[in-house]
Chains A and B, each alone.
Chain A
Amino acid sequence: TQLLEQSPQFLSIQEGENLTVYCNSSSVFSSLQWYRQEPGEGPVLLVTVVTGGEVKKLKRLTFQFGDARKDSSLHITAAQPGDTGLYLCAVLQAGTALIFGKGTTLSVSS
């Protein structure tokens, strides 16, 4: 059973469009992290959300943690080609380590 479900798996859009990707679980978490990975590189942390209902903004990226701390969303406004990459969410699995979802591959064309 996959701890984290990310959707959609793939997303291909034009520059300037808005989009939302999701990270869902049936479990409650104390925090959730979002990473972006570009081809040939390791993932890089974008943000950590901790409080239920929390909203964090990083330039054109808006992250929200669900009220029940079971899910999260990432909204990108006016997407640019530089936003292209694999977006991963991750949570601490009890007793072990950070576990990742399968990711959303975003392609933004100009």
Chain B
Amino acid sequence: NAGVTQTPKFQVLKTGQSMTLQCAQDMNHEYMSWYRQDPGMGLRLIHYSVGAGITDQGEVPNGYNVSRSTTEDFPLRLLSAAPSQTSVYFCASSYARASPLHFGNGTRLTVT
């Protein structure tokens, strides 16, 4: 049982480059979300989705796009990477909005 799978585990980008962080879950969860984690800042919500075709913004959405074409996948796109986006990114899923989250193991992104 894979749970939530994130790829890649590590990524280095130059300022201005774009990329997509992949997230897939095999638990048939309707709810998925993206968080970023920075030292001393806890987890901050970027975007979330309550089901296929529905997405919404979280606390820190600027510079990121998401889409949810299937229940399983929820990719996060960085349109033009900036050094301020250097962080560890976590994808999570749950049965419902208030249900406990299942997290992936994160993607560590460095923007130079």
Contact = CB atoms under 8 A, between A and B. Distances in A.
A5 to B, nearest CB: 11
Interface stretch (A14-22, A38-46, A59-67, A75-83): A38-46
B97 interface: yes
B105 A88 contact: no
A58 interface: no
A102 B56 CA distance: 23
Interface string B82-112: 0000000010100001101101111000000
A48 B100 CA distance: 8
B33 interface: yes
Interface in A54-98: 88, 90, 92, 96-98
Given A88-B42, A97-B45, A97-B48, A43 B97 contact: no
B48 A96 contact: yes
A41 B100 CA distance: 16
B81 to A, nearest CB: 22
A102 B48 contact: no
A100 B42 contact: yes
A78 B56 CA distance: 43
B79 interface: no
Contacts of B35: 100
Interface of B: 4, 33, 35, 40-45, 48, 56, 58-59, 90, 92, 97-98, 100-101, 103-106
Counting from the closest, the 3 A-B pairs by CB-CB distance are: A42-B103, A102-B42, A100-B43
